[in-house]
Amino acid sequence: MGVSSGTRMPPLQEWKDSAAPSMIRANEAQLAQHTAERASSNWTLQAVPFDDECGYVAKRAMAFIHGHFRESVRMEDLCRVTGVKVRTVQRCFRQQFGMTVTSYLKAQRLDAACRDLLAAHPSRDSVTTIALQNGCTHLGRFSSDFRERFGQLPSEALRGQPATLEEAAFRVIRTEWSVRAA
């Protein structure tokens, strides 16, 4: 700063001569003492079986979805019901059922809409009403998701046109899914 370049100490020497190394040594000593105290105490973690806890969380989330899929289901609701944080709900659900919470919720809504459309009468019921009753608020996305899942448009299902083999295969898979989830 005000020192000429000929008398200036190298930066490493300045650091060695400063108070920093003594502060670091003092903090290292405190850390080592704290670590030794923790290691010598009888402090142990409570081990919770990972699979049991994840299974419980995933099944509670699934039960909530089954009861509320027609409503707005938020991750905060699932966290409240299961008593864990968002990432834990997501991880446990994916680990237990092999799909995300969102994709499972969408599948439940589409399945219910399909059942309602097949049972509805075309002259008094509409695709829009049935989609909205089942929690599907974006009608364009509902139509494309429905077609992707069942191989036909929602309007075709409402008119009672025969479903494709894809739907029959899906019903078999869904039955297996219900057995596995129970």
Query: Across residues 107-117, what is the average pLDDT?
Result: 92
pLDDT at 45: 30
The residues, any chain, with a CB within 8 Å of residue 139's CB and separated by 6 or more, are 127, 128, 131
Which residue segment(s) compose the domain that 161 sits in? 106-181
Q: Where are the alpha helices (DSSP H) in 41-164?
A: 50-68, 75-82, 86-97, 101-119, 127-133, 139-150, 154-158
pLDDT at 119: 87
Q: Domain total for the chain?
A: 2
Asked if residue 157 belongs to a domain, the reply is: yes
Asked if residue 116 and residue 169 are part of one domain, the reply reads yes
Mean confidence (pLDDT) of the chain: 75
pLDDT at 43: 38
The residues, any chain, with a CB within 8 Å of residue 92's CB and separated by 6 or more, are 53, 54, 55, 57, 58, 61, 84
Asked if residue 134 and residue 67 are part of one domain, the reply reads no
